[in-house]
Amino acid sequence: MAKTKGVSGRRRVRFEVRAEPKSEVFVTGSFNSWDPKKKALEDKKQDGFYSGTLMLPKGTYEYKFVINGVWCADPECEEWTANEHGSLNSVIRVD
């Protein structure tokens, strides 16, 4: 799930997802040219709860998680859109 918090024209956006402990988890999207290895999420307590923060300007973004090489829509996101690969992207609006 993605959550936003304001900071000087940009917003701090926190991405969170559950996965098996010791997984390799990334968030990717229109905000980083869909680079599947650019933003790793951390499991600080090693309990399978991965999170990370990005600073994003206002706008609408599509994103996915990449968990152990598998691209996944955010199961907690309320807004999704179809993509050209026949699957869904999660959508976040940063105000």
Read off the pLDDT band of 9 (50, 70, 90).
confident
**How is 31-63 classified by DSSP, letter by letter?**
GGTT-TTSEE-B-TTSSSEEEEEEEEESEEEEE
The separation between the first and the last C-alpha atoms of the chain, rounded to the nearest angstrom, is: 16
SS3 30: helix
Q: Residue 53 pLDDT > 60, yes or no?
A: yes
Read off the pLDDT band of 67 (50, 70, 90).
very high
Q: Which of 11, 20, 14, 5 is nearest to 77 (CA)?
A: 14
pLDDT of residue 5: 63
**Would you say 24 and 47 are in contact if contact means Cβ atoms under 8 Å apart?**
no
pLDDT of residue 94: 94
pTM: predicted TM-score of the whole model, two decimal places: 0.89
- % of the chain beyond a pLDDT of 70: 92
Read off the pLDDT band of 7 (50, 70, 90).
low
Q: Residue 6 pLDDT > 60, yes or no?
A: no
3-state helix vs strand vs coil in the chain, percent to 5: 5, 55, 40
Which amino acid is residue 83, in one-letter code? N
